Amino acid sequence: MIGVLRMQQACKRKVWTQISIALMAALWMVNAQAELLIKVTEGRVDAVPIAVVPFDGAQNAPEDVSQIVQADLHRSGQFKPLPPEDMLSRPRNEQEMIYRDFKVLGTEYVITGSMKAQETGGYEVSYALFDVARQKKLMSETYRPPESQLRDVAHAISDRIYEQLTGIPGAFSTKILYVTHNRHDANPYQLQYADADGHRVTTILRSKEPIMSPTWSPDGRKIAYVSFEDQGRPAIYIHSLATTEREKVSSFSGINGAPDWSPDGQKLALTLSRDGNPEIYMLNLSTKGLTRLTNNYGIDTEPRWLPDGEHLVFTSSRSGGPQIYKLNINDKSVRRVSFQGAYNARSDVTPDGRYLVYVHRRNGNFNVGVQDLQRGTFNIVTRTDMDESPSVAPNGSMVIYGTQHGGTGVLEAVSIDGRVKVELPSKEGEVREPAWSPFL
């Protein structure tokens, strides 16, 4: 929504550089302490009852893999874990499974496991998944990670179980990228990422000036973002997470904004006002060649690639107010795709290209809406009133977005169908501009 707020102001004044700085200051003016909190506020009424039996040996390990798996499955909203204290038995393996103990409690699936410290260091982590109704083991695996990777193994187990039971790849091993702001810090703006469950926060960049529009490369090894660190002027940077090296790839006069990686990772779509009016451009990262894709009197911004790599969706004011349009990068043809209401902006697309997710204004509130591009249906999936920056999970099941709680910027997630709602990790200060990583 930040890009659209810019657009509304620009329609009035057309002074884009000054507007960008002023709007960022306005959006960050409320500063409160936001706790790290992950909470399923609304799950599916038909969530699948499942039991994650505490793993044998977990009490002596630095990370309890079974607790992490239980929390992952619960946070998906698709499963309803049985509290360990309500279990009639706690089997450690297939030989100890008493199916009737779980059937009488209405549990459909059971997960057992163990954690054993190895003499050479690290752990042996084993687990098994059981179908209670069929009294059958569905799968089992063993991992031997170093101690530092126990949490990674836990998320991998969650991914495997989620896919086994839903047919959809799990996204528990992914990361979430976001921007925080704390006015009490010497470098108040921070670009950070964390595990999808909010743990292991890593700070990528600290700055005295605003940071905006972070986005992941398709392989998850790099990110692109907008920084105002150069005397308050916006520029686009690419940052390598492994080496921490970064490169300034766009610093033209005026607006340099809203970067988005092409599916092949070879190009960036971005918004530039180098020729006067904000338009959509494509930057070839190998040759640094720049191609202008739009040419309209309206303001074109916030491009997002479609999975085919040949089309973009973007926000434009060409119809009088912000709406979503689809662009063919080969012949530069454009057609409008959003028609509900007078304000639709900041779009993202599911990995299969079927659903378009964007911010929709209704009755003065800004909500996340989901449009089915095949059926043409449109649904509002959030009930908060200041939502922004939706980003779709790589398995297409959830959308993370920024919103306001008590005047403080926080992150939340909602399922594509709106049936599951989750409060996601926040850090101290304002939290905005989330971006869900690809599969890593």
pLDDT in tens, 221-249: 999 999 999 999 999 999 999 999 999 99
- Mean pLDDT, residues 277-287: 97
Per-residue pLDDT for 251 more than 70? yes
Helix (H, G, I), strand (E, B) or coil at 220: coil
Query: To the nearest whole number, what is the mean pLDDT of the chain?
Result: 89
**How confident is residue 423, by pLDDT bands cut at 50, 70 and 90?**
confident
- Cβ 264 vs Cβ 217: under 8 Å: no
- Report pLDDT for 46: 83
CATH for the stretch 2-30+174-436: 2.120.10.30
Q: Which of 43-47, 60-64, 399-403 has the lowest mean pLDDT?
A: 43-47
Give the domain ranges of the chain: 2-30+174-436, 46-166
Those residues with Cβ within 8 angstroms of residue 11's Cβ, 6 or more apart along the chain or in another chain? 299, 317
The letter for the amino acid at 15 is V
- Cβ 22 vs Cβ 5: under 8 Å: no
pTM for this predicted structure: 0.89
Q: Which of 173-182, 270-279, 326-335, 419-428 has the lowest mean pLDDT?
A: 419-428
- Report pLDDT for 20: 35
Residue 108: CB atoms within 10 A of its CB come to 17
Q: Which residues of 196-214 are buried (b: 16+ CB within 10 A; e: fewer)?
A: bbbeebeebbeeebbbbbb
CATH class of 46-166: alpha beta
Distance CA 268, CA 265 (A): 8
- DSSP E strands: which ranges in 90-183? 109-117, 123-131, 136-143, 175-181
Q: Is residue 344 exposed (0-12), middle (13-18) or buried (19+ Cβ within 10 Å)?
A: buried
β-pairing, 109-117 vs 48-52, is: parallel
DSSP code, position 58: G
Structural tokens at position 386: 């200041």
Per-residue pLDDT for 13 more than 80? no
- Report pLDDT for 430: 84
- Mean pLDDT, residues 269-290: 96
- Cβ 193 vs Cβ 176: under 8 Å: yes
Compute CA distances 230 → 64, 186, 209, 236, 269, whole Å: 45, 17, 9, 11, 22
- Mean pLDDT, residues 166-189: 93
- Report pLDDT for 15: 30
β-pairing, 246-250 vs 233-240, is: antiparallel
Per-residue pLDDT for 23 more than 80? no
Tell me the pLDDT tens digit for each residue of 77-117: 999 999 999 999 999 999 999 999 999 999 999 999 999 99
**How confident is residue 135, by pLDDT bands cut at 50, 70 and 90?**
very high
Tell me the pLDDT tens digit for each residue of 304-347: 999 999 999 999 999 999 999 999 999 999 999 999 999 999 99
- Report pLDDT for 427: 54
Distance CA 293, CA 301 (A): 11
β-pairing, 355-362 vs 344-349, is: antiparallel
Distance CA 255, CA 317 (A): 16
**How confident is residue 38, by pLDDT bands cut at 50, 70 and 90?**
low
